[in-house]
Amino acid sequence: MKKLWILLAMCLSIAHATAKNIPIPHSYTATVTHIHDGDTIRVLDEHGQKQRIRLAYIDAPEVSPAQAHGIASRDALRQLLTRQTVRIDVWDIDRYGRQVARIVLDNQDINLMQIQTGNAWHYRSIARKNQHQQDYEYYQAAENQAKSARLGLWRKRNPVAPWHFRQQNRQAK
């Protein structure tokens, strides 16, 4: 049954992308115009079209309602990317219509950098199914190193992962 749901979700994602004439996967160059939080940005592509991007395989703390380190994570990404020209490597379209992608600036994987600096978690539950094995290992090693060095969100003893934070907020409502 679980496999059926996964297959259905993949088909819907592909259908959504096809309906919007977005080839999956693909890459393009864009200028970053807005950083919403530590894993979501907006860009202006080479055709002048606005695009919403969800950084693939990471999950950053929530900014609103305020989760510990959410603002710092967003601000770190802002400092790196605001008004920068980046390469967007799109792998999927999520249920909110955002392109799920790796962001590359000066040949550096910004998604990975968010993990390395302690500004995001490796989103293993998603990555385990979809991320290339070598990239998965890099991202996981980066999280372990950031945790060992107590960088960013790892300064706190037991930081609450964003997926748990969202679940707690849903249950509280």
| pLDDT tens digit sequence for 112-167 | 999 999 999 999 999 999 999 999 999 999 999 999 999 999 999 899 999 999 99
Q: Evaluate whether residue 92 is within a structural domain.
A: yes
Q: Which pLDDT score is estimated for 18?
A: 44
Distances in whole angstroms, Cα of residue 39 to Cα of each of 11, 21, 102, 109, 151: 24, 24, 10, 13, 17
Q: pLDDT tier at 170 (50, 70, 90 boundaries)? A: confident
pLDDT of residue 65: 73
For position 54, what pLDDT does the model report?
98
In a domain, 4, yes or no: no
The count of other CB atoms within 10 Å of the CB of residue 47 is 8
Total count of residues recorded for the chain: 173
How many domains does the structure of the chain reveal?
1
pLDDT tens track for 72-110: 999 999 999 999 999 999 999 999 999 999 999 999 999
Which pLDDT belongs to residue 169?
85
pLDDT at 61 over 70: yes
The CATH code of the domain that includes 140 is: 2.40.50.90
Residues with catalytic annotation? Answer: 54, 62, 98
Question: What domain range is 87 assigned to?
Answer: 13-155
**Residue 3 maps to a domain:** no
pLDDT on residue 145 = 98
Task: Note whether residue 151 is domain-resident.
Answer: yes
Residue 7 lies in a domain: no
Q: What is the pLDDT of residues 37-59, one digit of tens each?
A: 999 999 999 999 999 999 999 99
Q: Looking at this protein, which amino acid is placed at residue 51? A: Q
Residue 97 zone, left/alpha/beta (φ > 0; ψ -120 to 50; rest): left
Encode pLDDT of 16-39 as tens digits: 444 445 567 899 999 999 999 999
Partners of 52 in beta bridges: 42
The pLDDT value recorded for residue 23 is 64
Is 57 a member of any domain? yes
User: Is residue 8 assigned to a domain?
Assistant: no
3-state SS, 100-163, equals EEEEEECCEEHHHHHHHCCCCEECHHHHHHHCCHHHHHHHHHHHHHHHHHCCHHHHCCCCCCHH
Let me know if residue 6 belongs to a domain.
no
